[in-house]
């Protein structure tokens, strides 16, 4: 059984045990995002002024499609983690906080699915 601090006993609160894990996830996604964003910027610069057909053709390269999907998923996950911290730190009403956390997660899933769908559609010509 976990031992609570005296303040935790009075308030009925204990250690959430998730702060370190959240911190690590945020750092890992930030570090992983560096080469992925460099790839994304390079891709945008190389394809500046390209037609839609040229973009679709480049997405049919499995390496490009995989890197683009990883970039989108990494950036969306990192965004979700960052917004979660902002919501938890600055929203103090419980029902509002939980609603915003739910919306944050829902929005991240929608963005991840939409981005992945677009890449799959272009790479497989669906």
The pLDDT score that the predictor gives to residue 3 is 62
User: Of 114, 123, 126, whose CA–CA distance to 61 is shortest?
Assistant: 123
Give 22-124's CATH code, choosing from 2.40.50.140, 3.10.20.440, 1.10.2020.10, 1.20.1300.10: 1.20.1300.10
The pLDDT score that the predictor gives to residue 43 is 97
Task: Indicate the pLDDT class of residue 18, thresholds 50, 70 and 90.
Answer: low
> Domain extents for the chain?
22-124
Burial class (CB in 10 A: 0-12, 13-18, 19+), 68: buried
Q: Model pTM?
A: 0.81
Contact (Cβ atoms closer than 8 angstroms) between residue 104 and residue 87: yes
């Amino acid at each position: 059984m976990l031992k609570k601090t005296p303040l935790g006993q009075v308030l009925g609160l204990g250690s959430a045990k998730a702060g370190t894990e959240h911190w690590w996830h945020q750092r890992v996604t930030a570090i992983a995002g560096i080469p992925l964003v460099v790839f994304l910027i390079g891709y945008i610069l190389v394809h500046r002024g390209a037609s839609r057909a040229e973009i679709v053709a480049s997405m049919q390269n499995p390496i490009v499609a995989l890197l683009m999907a990883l970039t989108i998923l990494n950036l969306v996950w990192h965004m979700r983690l960052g917004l979660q911290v902002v919501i938890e730190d600055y929203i103090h009403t419980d029902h509002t906080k939980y609603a915003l956390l739910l919306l944050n997660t829902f929005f991240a899933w929608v963005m991840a699915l939409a981005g992945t769908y677009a890449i799959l559609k272009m790479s497989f010509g669906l």
